[in-house]
Structure 1
Amino acid sequence: MRQLFICFALWLAPLGGPLRAEPWPAPADPFVTDLAEVLPAPEEEALRSELQALRAETGVELTVLPIAARGDYDPSASIETFAAGLFNAWGIGDAGRNDGILVLVASQDHEMRVQLGSAYDQGYDVLAQDIVSRFFLPDLRDDDPARGIVGGSREVMARIARPHAAALPAEALPSEGGGLPGWLPVALFAAGAGLLVFRRRLGDRAQVLRRCPSCGRFGLRRTREGLNGAAGETEGQATTRIACRRCGFHENRDPRIPRQGKRDEADGGGFGGGRSSGGGATGRW
């Protein structure tokens, strides 16, 4: 019986493979994902603000990812393979420019990687190695990961990201106002204000210009109705009733509860779909 139990356990062992964690961590936002919890909040927020400014001014996406260990995800790969796979899985950087940058630090493994997008030539690999050796590793060896990560990332911005962006043609860079004529925002504002005045004067009849969320046809009707004295409510309060003349759809809206719009993705949007062909620099301590 004991031998049968051992054989059964050995047979089940390979089935444990698919239960492993996901091969890549999930990003908290496009700028800083501190899964190792090595960055104090003030330093993390300051770094995030600088990375946001970098992307707004140059279009370069640089993301910083401290993790505890690669073994929490895919322990079989080297840090170079792991960083390149994660870079491409996340799609760091603009898909047309491929100039994203990943700063990966695995604190328990005592290794790190600056992974560069495929647009960077080998000269940037040399720069990245110098930054890793001179700015990341000394503080990581001294058990001061926050100082090393923040200081090293700033060097990557100053010596790799911004010089690269400065060499790009003007049309490849983000333009203030999205490249629109200076008069256009004023004209759009005036048109919007005029439409708002028109809708207010039109009043409830404006609902006929909206599509029904149920049947998709025009003809919504809006009426205001008093509430029925529920707890905490006073007389004179009213709710708005939206009804479709065609399909019978109706909805009551309490004016005291603001309607929530669509939430923006991760503080400025996700990644742009960039790729890396393996360039960058590695450090160990």
Structure 2
Amino acid sequence: MFIKAFAVALTFASAAAGQTLPEPLGDGLSDFANVLDATEEGRITRLLEATRAETGVQMVVVTLPTIEANGGAGMRLDAYAKALFNAWGVGEADRNDGILMLVATEAREVRIALGGGYDAVYDGRAARVLSTAVLPEFREGRIAGGIEAGIVSSRERLITPFLEGRPVTVTDGFADETPSSLPWVAGIGGLAGLIGYGFWSRARARRTCPSCGAQTLNRTKEVIDPPTRSSSGTGLQHLTCQACGFVDRRSFSIPALRSDGSDGPGGSRGGSSGSGRSSGGFGGGRSSGGGASGKW
């Protein structure tokens, strides 16, 4: 175990020095910053899975403490998000319809990066998603809530009109960014009941120690065996309580990387070329740099 942990640490050090981008922890959520607890991770993962199952569009959420320590030294957030998007191949190569939400927690910056299939008007719409749904939650310290709200808003304000091919303006549909304006949520296999939509409430989920009950539980993750295109990987989650000294370790599985099309050609920024369903994984989608950024 010590040798493997040392190898993981060495990999991250090499990434910082050699500008190597991180490998995904899954095809939906990669919480490298460890800002989400297990319940929050579950809600966000189910939202991403439901969005993809219903629309065929892959949306990916990534949290990082800094981009500088993860292959982005000297880069702006928008350039880094584009590089990560293309390295992973977010979305389908034939449509370039993927969406990446990147949260850099220490810099307090967030980026929504769009696939090359989205017209330039969607840059403005992505900015509205950030300003109306994501940033208000982030500014109140609710990172999970902002991510969840951003997924919901992105589906309604970005993915749906894109797939329908209907003309939109920057502000169409943003007059009332409230739970009642997002009726699709209740129809996704009962997902609303599953999630409970706590991100609209003012309560913030906290990491509570199962031993002493104090909200001082720290959680870190390490990749033990990175996934490949032919096999899944494994990781180890470490739980430690600062108050009582509780320690626990839990293994988790990292899905295999998709083997087809990860280096596929990018598309020009334009309308949708289809709305077929995807079975999961990364489909080789590309970004031309479109999207929007915000700070909180």
- The structure 1 residue matched to 2:285, chosen from 274, 278, 282, is 274
Deviation of 1:265 after TM superposition, in Å, equals 2.9
| Greater helix share, structure number | 1
- Separation in 2 of the partners of 1:274 and 1:20? 27
Q: 1:25 to 1:82 in 2, by over 3 A?
A: same
Query: How big is the shift at 1:118?
Result: 0.4
CA contact (8 A) 1:102 1:115 kept: yes
Contact 2:135–2:294, Cα closer than 8 Å, also in 1 = yes
Q: Structure 1: how far apart are the matches of 2:76 and 2:255? A: 35
Distance in 1 (CA, whole Å) between partners of 2:15 and 2:62 is 25
Separation of aligned partners in 2, 1:117 and 1:132: 17
Q: Distance in 2 between matches of 1:64 and 1:120?
A: 18
**Unmatched segments (≥5 aa) in structure 2:** 1-12, 167-253, 259-278
What's the TM-score, normalizing by structure 1?
Answer: 0.57
The residue aligned with 1:114 is: 112
Among 112, 118, 123, the residue aligned to 1:125: 123
Check the 8 A contact 1:113/1:280 in 2, yes or no.
Answer: yes
Instruction: Report the residue type matching 1:279 in the other structure.
Output: G
Q: 1:81 to 1:129 in 2, by over 3 A?
A: same
Q: Are the structure 2 counterparts of residues 164 and 22 from structure 1 closer, same or farther at C-alpha, using a change threshold of 3 Å? A: same
* Superposed structure 1 runs of 4+ greater than 4 Å apart: 16-19, 266-269
> What SS class does the counterpart of residue 115 from structure 1 fall into?
strand
User: 1:46 — aligned with what?
Assistant: 43
- TM-score, normalising length from structure 2? 0.55
Residue 265 of structure 1 pairs with residue 269 of structure 2: no
Counterpart of 1:95 in 2: which secondary structure?
coil
Spell out, residue by residue over 1:159-189, the C-alpha distance to the aligned partner (whole angstroms, 9 max, x if none).
Answer: 1112222339xxxxxxxxxxxxxxxxxxxxx
1:1-285 paired onto structure 2 within 5 Å = 20=17, 22-73=19-70, 74-167=72-165, 265=256, 269-285=280-296
Identity of paired residues, percent?
A: 40
Give 5+ residue unaligned stretches, structure 1: 1-15, 169-262
CA deviation vs aligned residue, 1:230-280 (integer Å, no higher than 9, x gap):
xxxxxxxxxxxxxxxxxxxxxxxxxxxxxxxxx973796420000000100
The residue identity in structure 2 corresponding to 1:47 is I
> What is the aligned residue count?
176
CA shift for structure 1 position 42: 1.8
- The 3 A distance-change label for structure 1 pair 272 and 17 is closer
Q: CA RMSD in A?
A: 2.4
Q: CA shift at 1:80, angstroms?
A: 0.7
User: Highest Rg: 1 or 2?
Assistant: 1
Who is 1:244 aligned against?
Answer: none
